[in-house]
Amino acid sequence: MKNLWAPWRIAYIQEQPKESGCFLCNSFQSNQDEKHLIVYRGKECFCILNKYPYNSGHLMIVPNKHKPDISDLTDQEMLEIMKLTRDMKELLMAMMEPEGFNLGINLGRSAGAGLVGHFHLHIVPRWNGDTNFMPIISDVKIIPQSLEDLYKEFKKRL
């Protein structure tokens, strides 16, 4: 068996106790954007790098207010979420040149939501061949760029 070095995962494994309350609200309310990987703050929503990404560049667009469901969002929040989704998708295109994107909203645990209490929209850049045998056989996903470097790249371009 071969080992893959993935030092960024140890923080998740060792994180004890888990953050109390909603991690998205806690991140938004702090003034430590770099620590929490917030790349953009708007009037109604913010954009944050996913700390445990499905792929390099995985972002989440999140309303500033704690709202569990898309039905709870105001028209202004919906509009800004969609505009920011468009703008971040274009920025990811310029930065990383992906060949496609997954945009996702999971409402409820049975739908795959890891966080059910605070609505958010995922933007996941995709490349041909980015799914291979590794996740299936070895339960391993390779992320080629550190979150810190990616955060700095976003801040340079915004």
* Catalytic center residues: 120
Q: For residue 107, what are the contacts with CB-CB under 8 A and spacing of at least 6?
A: 69, 70, 113, 119
Query: Alpha-carbon Rg of the chain, whole angstroms?
Result: 16
The first and second tokens of residue 132, run together, are 């291979």
Nearest to 58, CA basis, from 121, 139, 114, 118: 121
- How big is the CA angle at 90 (ends 84 and 92), to the nearest 5 degrees? 100
First vs last Cα of the chain: how many Å apart?
43
